[in-house]
Amino acid sequence: MPLDRLDEVEQLIVRLRQAGARGTSDTLTNAFGMQFNPEIPSRDVALLTAVLKSFLCLYEWLFKRARIDLARRVTLFAEPFPKDYVLKVVDPEYWPDQDQLIEDYLKFNPTRNRALDLLPLFKYLDAPRVARKTQDVLIKARPTWHYRLPNCEIDQPGWGLFKAWNDWVEVEQLAADRERLNDCCRAYQQFLARPLDRWFGDWAARLSTDWVQRF
């Protein structure tokens, strides 16, 4: 859908709620997620890498705001990325070509079970390379970021797509500012390298103070 039609989605959410739709927290077994697929503006590998870096840096903030339901944590539909992969990608010197970007992703993430599932995008960009690593028939090629972290709270008044969408915009805004992105990556690298920071620190709070622009 084009951006100027997103208000129709919000209207549909209201009508579904009025019709009795139920969300993630309605019962303990509702592992419902709200997913959307923002289209990539271009195939430029530097742009794609920047968005991935930004998402990895902001993940803890996004996760905290999403308040992921226990049912979704147990069913493993939107796992975080492995720490070794995060450290590799957030390195300010990491700016691979497309082949290397996809190879690195497949090495650490040969699964759809990620909060930001890049397999559909990478299948769109290079289907044979993805097929050599996974034959999952549910991976559908498309030129989008498959964002699957948020809960679906459609039964709650005031809930809508706009909540998660506005958080996603923060990812794109950080990705668009290369200097700010590199500074954030460097700070996150340092945070992850210090055990005391990882155990007792609050990276999400630091993001809210230093790196997220809206709050």
Quick: pLDDT tens for 84-110: 999 999 999 999 999 999 999 999 999
- Provide the pLDDT for residue 215: 46
The one-letter amino acid at 197: D
pLDDT band for 213, please (50, 70, 90 cuts): confident
Facing residues of 39 across strands? 144
User: Which pairs from 5-9 meet CB under 8 Å and 24+ separation?
Assistant: 6/161, 6/162, 6/165, 9/160, 9/161
pLDDT over threshold 90, residue 14: yes
In a domain, 10, yes or no: no
In a domain, 19, yes or no: no
Query: In whole angstroms, how far apart are CA 70 and each of 22, 30, 32, 115, 163?
Result: 16, 9, 11, 15, 20
Instruction: Provide the domain count of the chain.
Output: 1
Bigger pLDDT: 162 or 73? 162
In a domain, 203, yes or no: yes
In a domain, 169, yes or no: yes
Q: Which two tokens stand for residue 82?
A: 């492995």
Range of the domain at 168: 33-210
- Enter the pTM of the model: 0.90
In a domain, 26, yes or no: no
In a domain, 6, yes or no: no
In a domain, 20, yes or no: no
